[in-house]
Structures are given as structure tokens and as C-alpha cells.
């Protein structure tokens, strides 16, 4: 039967020192003696200063960040004041430009209207004179004179009405409008904005703390319970072992072409011979079945655990 003395400190053993193991380090995956375990625990003393250093860096970085924000506020305020001055300057220039355009457009518009008024006034004056001449002939002229004048007036009247219709088709009212492409408040608000941006602080922390060595009494108190004599059944070597849910131990023997079954206390139960050599064995999700690899035949054999009889054959070679 094995004793706790069989579990020695692996770190000491590398220095040709034999020390009884008392703890298990889950990080190093080694058995440690009490002194080595104490050294592991001293990692805490190295970790705390590193934590303090990192915390100090964080505090200093945060303070610098606050100073930077205050400085940024000052710069932004100055930029806003400058923006306002630039906007006022641009507005003044815009005002002068708009007033100049207004003056020019007003003069051009009035000139066009006056031109049409003058043209209509000239035509109206001509017809006023024609009307006076017609009235005079109606009162004092002969019938022949009145007839000749009336025919002449008819011809001129037709020409004038055609010209008048053409003038009316082209005549439009002219208005001067003040147009703004967008609401002024929207234009101003879209010029700039205040926002926050985020970036990494650049602080790194190197952990100094190793996982504390954990005492594992179960591992350090392993006992040899049973020994299975394989030679009794002609087994020279085992290539695959599997413990199934029914607490049965199945062993593959590659060189003897056999599969053996034992109870959990080592009692021999059954064996089965194969035409080809079994190599590895593994439980399957299906209850009460195992898979046995047959590398020489390039196949996997599904076997019933109780009877060790074949259920199906899976070919593994490429087609």
C-alpha cells in the first residue's frame, strides 16, 4: 500500500532534496512541501506593492485627466468667442452684400416697370388723339370723311389689339423677395458642437499573484486497493482502457486480438477475440455501448458492454 511518503515535493526533488508533500499548487500542478508552499504564499507580498503602484498610477492619470478637461474648457471657450467674432464679421459682410444687391435689383425692377408703363402710355396717348379726331368728324365731318376715318381706325384698332394681347401675355408683376436657405438658428447650431471622446488610459497592470497552493488531502491519501493480474489471462500489454457506467473495466489487448471485461474489484468476467487487432476503446453516448478502434482494418466496431457482441461496423477509410 502506498503512503503519504510516496508523495514528495516536486520542487525540492529537482534540487536532489526529498521533502514530504503537504499541499497541491493548482497553478504549477505540483506537490509542494510546507516550506515551498510558504514561499508560494509570499507571492502576496509581491502582489500588494504592485497593486499599490497601479492604483497610484490610476489616481495620477485621473488627476491629469481632470487638469486636461479644465484646460480643454478654456481652449474651447476661446474658440467659441472667436467663432462668434467671425460670425459677426461674416454677418456684417453679408449685410452689406445683401443691401447692395437689394439696391441694384430695385433699380433694375423699377426700370423694367417704367419701360412698360412708358410704352403703354405712348399707345394710350395715340388713341386719345384718334378718339378726339373721331369725335370731331362725327360732329362736323361729312359721311364720306367719317367712313374713311372709321375704316382707317378699324385697321389700326386691329393692330393695336394684337400688340396689346402680346404685351399682356408677357407682362408679369415683379416682386423682390428676401430668401434664406435655412432657418438661421439651425445654421448656427450646425456649425459646431461640444462632445466627449474616449480613449484608453494606457495603464497596464502585471499580476504578481499566483494561485494559492491548495491542500488536497484526497490526492495525498491515495491507497492501492486492488491489483489485476493480466498475465493470468494471457495479456502481455494493454493499448486501451475504459471504465463504463456499470463499473465495468474494459481492456483492449492489441497483440492478442482480445477485449477483456472485469468488475470494479478486479474480478475477471469475460473476453472476446477479434479477427483483427483492437487498439483503443471509448464509451459512446448510447447507453451500454462502447466503440473499439481497429486500425489495421481501418474501422470502428460498436460493441455491447454486457455481451461484448458487435452491434455495427463503421468504416473509417476514405472513399
Query: Domain coordinates of the chain in residue numbers?
Result: 64-189, 226-315
| pLDDT digits (tens), the chain, 319 positions | 333 445 788 878 877 778 888 888 776 778 888 887 777 666 656 677 878 888 888 899 999 999 999 999 999 999 999 999 999 999 899 899 999 999 999 999 999 999 989 999 999 999 999 999 989 999 888 888 888 988 889 888 888 989 889 888 888 888 988 887 767 767 777 777 888 887 787 777 666 554 444 444 434 444 566 777 777 776 767 888 888 878 888 999 888 888 999 887 888 888 898 888 899 999 887 778 899 999 888 899 999 998 899 888 888 765 5
Residues 311 and 300: beta-carbon distance below 8 Å: no
- Cell of residue 197, nine digits: 471622446
- Cell of residue 220, nine digits: 495525498
Residues 203 and 54: beta-carbon distance below 8 Å: yes
Q: Which of 280, 269, 278 lies closest to 306, judged by CA? A: 269
How many angstroms separate the CA atoms of 189 and 187, rounded? 6
Nearest 10 degrees: CA dihedral of 9, 13, 19, 25? -10
Q: Which of 11, 8, 7 lies closest to 27, judged by CA? A: 11
Q: What is the phi/psi pair of residue 112, to 5°?
A: -65, -40
Element (H, E) at 273: strand 268-273
Q: Which CATH class is domain 226-315?
A: mainly beta
- Cell of residue 245, nine digits: 457506467
Pairing of strands 30-32, 240-243: unpaired
Amino acid at each position: 500500500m502506498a503512503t503519504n511518503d510516496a508523495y514528495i515535493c516536486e520542487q525540492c526533488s529537482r534540487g536532489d532534496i526529498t521533502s514530504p508533500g503537504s499541499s497541491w499548487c493548482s497553478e504549477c500542478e505540483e506537490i509542494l512541501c510546507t516550506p515551498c508552499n510558504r514561499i508560494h504564499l509570499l507571492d502576496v507580498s509581491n502582489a500588494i506593492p504592485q497593486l499599490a503602484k497601479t492604483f497610484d498610477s490610476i489616481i495620477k492619470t485621473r488627476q491629469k485627466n481632470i487638469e486636461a478637461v479644465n484646460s480643454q474648457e478654456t481652449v474651447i471657450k476661446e474658440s467659441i468667442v472667436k467663432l462668434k467674432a467671425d460670425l459677426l464679421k461674416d454677418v456684417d459682410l453679408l449685410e452689406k452684400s445683401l443691401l447692395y444687391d437689394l439696391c441694384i435689383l430695385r433699380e433694375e425692377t423699377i426700370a423694367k416697370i417704367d419701360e412698360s408703363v412708358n410704352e403703354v402710355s405712348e399707345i394710350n396717348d395715340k388713341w386719345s388723339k384718334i378718339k378726339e379726331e373721331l369725335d370731331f368728324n362725327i360732329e362736323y365731318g361729312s359721311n364720306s370723311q367719317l367712313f374713311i376715318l372709321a375704316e382707317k381706325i378699324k385697321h389700326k384698332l386691329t393692330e393695336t389689339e394684337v400688340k396689346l394681347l402680346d404685351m399682356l401675355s408677357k407682362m408679369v408683376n415683379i416682386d423682390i423677395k428676401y430668401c434664406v436657405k435655412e432657418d438661421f438658428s439651425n445654421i448656427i447650431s450646425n456649425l459646431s458642437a461640444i462632445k466627449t471622446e474616449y480613449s484608453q488610459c494606457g495603464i497596464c497592470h502585471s499580476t504578481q499573484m499566483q494561485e494559492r497552493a491548495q491542500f488536497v488531502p484526497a490526492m495525498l491519501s491515495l491507497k492501492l486497493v486492488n491489483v489485476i493480474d493480466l498475465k493470468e489471462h494471457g495479456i502481455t500489454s494493454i493499448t486501451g482502457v475504459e471504465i463504463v457506467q456499470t463499473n465495468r473495466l474494459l481492456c483492449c489487448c492489441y497483440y492478442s486480438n482480445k477485449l477483456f471485461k472485469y468488475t470494479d474489484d478486479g474480478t475477471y468476467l469475460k473476453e472476446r477475440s477479434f479477427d483483427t487487432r483492437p487498439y483503443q476503446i471509448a464509451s459512446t453516448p448510447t447507453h451500454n455501448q462502447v466503440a473499439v478502434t481497429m486500425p489495421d482494418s481501418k474501422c470502428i466496431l460498436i460493441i455491447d458492454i454486457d455481451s461484448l457482441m458487435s452491434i455495427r461496423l463503421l468504416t473509417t477509410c476514405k472513399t
